[in-house]
Structure 1
Amino acid sequence: MTTTHEFWLAGRRASGDADFEVRHSFDGSLVGKVSVPTDAQVEEAVAAAAAVAPAFAATPAHVRAAALDHVSKRLAERTEEIARLITAENGKPIKWARGEVGRAVSVFRWAAEEARRTNGETMRLDTDPGGVGRFAVVRRFPKGVVLGIAPFNFPLNLVAHKVAPAIAVGAPIILKPAPATPISALVLGEILAETDLPAGSWSVLPVPNEKMPALVQDERLPVVSFTGSDKVGYQIMDSVPRKHVTLELGGNAAAVVLADWSSEADLDWAATRIAMFSNYQGGQSCISVQRVIADASVYDALVEKVVAKVEAQVTGDPSDDAVDVGPLVDEKAAERVEAWVDDAVAKGAKVLTGGTREGAAYAPTVLADLPSDAILATAEVFGPVLSLHRVNSTDEAFAAVNDSAFGLQAGVFTHDVQTAFRAHRELQVGGVIIGDAPSYRADQMPYGGVKDSGVGREGVKYAMDDFTYERVLVLTGLDL
């Protein structure tokens, strides 16, 4: 009998009058059915969140921290179960799904720690004569209810990056998971329901995409945190100009290999990391390696190694521990990647390996001689495809990185500390990773981009800042 998963309305289980199916992208099997909230139930969740907001903001830090600690502990206890679910929902290889659960465990733990240590700051104001006897206390308070809209590619960890900071600061959150991968978020709801968080402080609502505009525009939800495509993200921002909107959008991340990264060991490491992180989620990560920009002095040797290591990536059933690359989230996504590669080849690109599709799976692919008018040259492929580019200097390499509408992260393989600081200074991205691929992310660091890659930052402490504002208390007539 097929399980129909209920959603979470103001902290309690609920079901609507319709449902939809979630299917495994590898074999098409039914993962489960998910109940869809009615318009009235969505209204109930929003009203409950707005009503509880003042009380939740005043909740003692230990209450919020204890709830976050509980979630972290229970996720760790249920790692294998939830990892298997992630793999079933979006086709992510099981070894990467386990890693995703481990990251979410850390996100909730860090949120608990930040909830305990967020104390604000104090300042004496008698630095000028008009401030004699005055002392200020600056604390942060929630901007209001958060509407969190999560993507399919990390159905647990990117949900955690919205839920955990909101709870840590005492901001109610209404979470809308991706239609392709809602069940992981609903299981997180099971764990949240085990805590003492007040009713209304959180809901998990699998609302259909076509019904989201009304929810986005609801004035009772002053903060919108969206992770997804740049097209949808900026549509959201444009539709609510007076709201606080955080956008974590796309990228076409570059890995730069400079002339000093030239030893056999150096090139082996670079090729290994490039091959792994152009394919590790089927390329469905905003910081997957899409462009490899290599100095001419190392280009030929690097290309040979990259192709070999990409061909060594194990493809197949994502539930197999040995598999590195599974299918994309669905066949439509794989067909789009196929069309973009075909477009590049028709315009002159050379396929060094890969370039084939089977159902929802697209083979790990390496291209050379990618023409500038190909879609792949400027857009985010969100698939297991990388292109190789030869440059003649560091100047040319950094200019190539910046020649993009996106600016999320970049990786620079160099041993030169001066070059590392130059990259940090010149590259128009949200993060520069030295000695590794651009795909490295520690979940406690500020994460986000510039240009079309979005606005605002994730990373627990930084998201907490994003969800709150400073409020100053000035005490008068004190003997300081």
Structure 2
Amino acid sequence: MSLIAVQSFAAGNWIGPGADAAPLHNAFSGALIGHAGGAALDVATMRQHAIATGGPALRAMTFHDRARMLKALAQYLNDRKESLYELSYLTGATRADSWIDIDGGIGTMFVFASKGRREMPDAHVYLDGEVEMLSRKGSFVGQHVCTPLQGVALHINAFNFPVWGMLEKLAPTLLAGVPAIVKPATATGYLTEAAFRMIIESGLLPDGAVQLISGGVGPLLDHLGAQDAVSFTGSADTALRLRGNVNLQRNSVRFAAEQDSLNASVLGPDVGIDDPEFDLFIKEVSTEITAKAGQKCTAVRRILVSEVMKLAVIDALEARLAAVTLGDPRRDDVQMGALASAAQKADVLEKCAMFASEARRVIGSDSPPLSGEGLGGGGVFG
């Protein structure tokens, strides 16, 4: 295949990667597949384009208008999703992994479209609660109303769900009548760009409603104001660094972060080996370990069991995971693909080394058998 030049979409124009673009690699083979980032984007103009062009066009629509727009867009993407599945293999995802990302993202957009029609008024303003009597004789009353922000929403997304991560934020943002600038993680951003390109090609959104940054955000945070918002998904450390931006604090820019979720699977002390709950526990823990190669944001970090059940759980997990085939995610016999990038593998190995100080490995190896051709040392299997 030819190399992918992952583009940005700024103020109505597609802009290719710059001289300092980052190389992108096939997750399961290590082959170079393209480049992204490095372009000198005029982020101030991007913000102004969203505010002056996209915002007014969206606000001219009612909630129901925007809900119908979302439904049409979700249907458009759904009709063309197969090409996204083919590209998703390069991220190391199996077909089942990609279903969570691609169909899950499109499904989320359908849900918000439905909620917009069923739960929001066919109007430009959303009334929040009843009229409040603030004076004894009714000469002074109050009414809470919700109206669209006059700025832009900056979406900084994670690497693990390049399609769903974009669509789950775009749907409520557009339904609310606010334009968005999407910044996907560079490692898997080529899949985001492919889905985003479909959105633009659909012609269903007004000009300026959505823009895309493939690469770093540059000084964009320094240009945001009180009517803007930042929605971040990623690590707690990165969220803390971004949240500390002086301009964001000075202008009280809304900042929402989904970061480092802490999840565990816990086996109750009253559950025995012969109980159906034990089988369910083993099945779900195995899925958490293998789905998206363990890279789901909701994947469990700890498996908690009573001391008396420890060996039984280890044996059951070892037996179940031994049947899992790793390798080329395009193959029908492969249940677990590769990690998304070399950086992600380095992070996993770092955490494994940390655990080694107080635990021992009971399942897995540094060189697992792989199914597929050309998987040499270039892939990032954990």
Please, what TM-score do these two structures have when normalized by structure 1? 0.68
- From 254, 257, 261, the equivalent of 2:267 is 257
Establish whether residue 247 from structure 1 lines up as the match of residue 262 from structure 2.
Answer: no
Q: Distance in 2 between matches of 1:147 and 1:174?
A: 5
SS of residue matched to 1:235: helix
Q: Distance in 1 between matches of 2:330 and 2:167?
A: 23
Aligned residue in 1 for 2:221? 216
Q: Distance in 2 between matches of 1:135 and 1:233?
A: 37
Q: Deviations over 1:235-294 (max 9, x none)?
A: 111112221101011134211111233343221110011011122111112221221111
In structure 2, relative to structure 1, the CA distance for the partners of 1:145 and 1:315 (3 Å cut) is: same
Establish whether residue 164 from structure 1 lines up as the match of residue 175 from structure 2.
Answer: no
In structure 2, relative to structure 1, the CA distance for the partners of 1:267 and 1:327 (3 Å cut) is: same
Establish whether residue 324 from structure 1 lines up as the match of residue 335 from structure 2.
Answer: yes
Aligned residue in 2 for 1:31? 33
58-67 or 11-20, larger mean C-alpha shift: 11-20
Contact 1:124 1:135 in 2 (8 A): yes
Aligned residue in 1 for 2:77? 75
Q: Distance in 2 between matches of 1:58 and 1:224?
A: 23
Per-residue deviation, 1:181: 1.2
- From 305, 319, 323, the equivalent of 1:308 is 319
In structure 2, relative to structure 1, the CA distance for the partners of 1:140 and 1:312 (3 Å cut) is: farther
In structure 2, relative to structure 1, the CA distance for the partners of 1:336 and 1:2 (3 Å cut) is: closer
Correspondences of 1:190-205 after superposition (within 5 Å)? 190-193=197-200, 194-205=202-213
Identity of aligned residues (%): 22
In structure 2, relative to structure 1, the CA distance for the partners of 1:112 and 1:207 (3 Å cut) is: same
In structure 2, relative to structure 1, the CA distance for the partners of 1:332 and 1:104 (3 Å cut) is: closer
Aligned residue in 1 for 2:191? 184
Per-residue deviation, 1:299: 3.3
Contact 1:86 1:155 in 2 (8 A): no
Contact 1:95 1:321 in 2 (8 A): no
Contact 2:30 2:380 in 1 (8 A): no
In structure 2, relative to structure 1, the CA distance for the partners of 1:215 and 1:132 (3 Å cut) is: same
Contact 1:70 1:195 in 2 (8 A): no
Q: Distance in 2 between matches of 1:342 and 1:245?
A: 33
What count of residue pairs does the alignment treat as equivalent? 357
SS of residue matched to 1:175: strand
Aligned residue in 2 for 1:403? none
In structure 2, relative to structure 1, the CA distance for the partners of 1:282 and 1:102 (3 Å cut) is: same
Report which of the two has the higher share of strand. Answer: 1
Q: Deviations over 1:301-349 (max 9, x none)?
A: 222212222222221111223322211122333233234323433x242
SS of residue matched to 2:349: helix
Correspondences of 1:357-436 after superposition (within 5 Å)? 357=367, 360-363=379-382
In structure 2, relative to structure 1, the CA distance for the partners of 1:326 and 1:16 (3 Å cut) is: closer
SS of residue matched to 1:272: helix
Establish whether residue 103 from structure 1 lines up as the match of residue 104 from structure 2.
Answer: yes
Q: Deviations over 1:61-113 (max 9, x none)?
A: 3432233112211222222210221221x211222112321111111112212
Per-residue deviation, 1:360: 4.3
Q: Deviations over 1:394-431 (max 9, x none)?
A: xxxxxxxxxxxxxxxxxxxxxxxxxxxxxxxxxxxxxx
Aligned residue in 1 for 2:370? none
- From 258, 264, 279, the equivalent of 1:268 is 279
Aligned residue in 1 for 2:233? 227
Unaligned segments of structure 1, at least 5 residues? 364-480
244-253 or 15-24, larger mean C-alpha shift: 15-24
Correspondences of 1:116-135 after superposition (within 5 Å)? 116=117, 117-119=119-121, 120-121=126-127, 122-126=129-133, 129-131=136-138, 134=141
Q: Deviations over 1:217-248 (max 9, x none)?
A: 21247200010111111111111222110101
In structure 2, relative to structure 1, the CA distance for the partners of 1:36 and 1:64 (3 Å cut) is: farther
Aligned residue in 2 for 1:426? none
Contact 1:252 1:286 in 2 (8 A): no
Q: Distance in 2 between matches of 1:5 and 1:84?
A: 16
Aligned residue in 2 for 1:444? none
Q: Distance in 2 between matches of 1:59 and 1:95?
A: 37
Give the RMSD, CA atoms, in angstroms: 2.5
Q: Distance in 1 between matches of 2:344 and 2:142?
A: 58
Per-residue deviation, 1:146: 0.4
Aligned AA for 1:223?
A
Correspondences of 1:350-361 after superposition (within 5 Å)? 350-357=360-367, 360-361=379-380
Contact 1:94 1:320 in 2 (8 A): no
Q: Distance in 2 between matches of 1:126 and 1:251?
A: 42
Q: Distance in 1 between matches of 2:71 and 2:315?
A: 47
Aligned residue in 1 for 2:371? none
Contact 2:25 2:33 in 1 (8 A): yes
Aligned AA for 2:26?
H
SS of residue matched to 2:231: strand
In structure 2, relative to structure 1, the CA distance for the partners of 1:128 and 1:309 (3 Å cut) is: farther
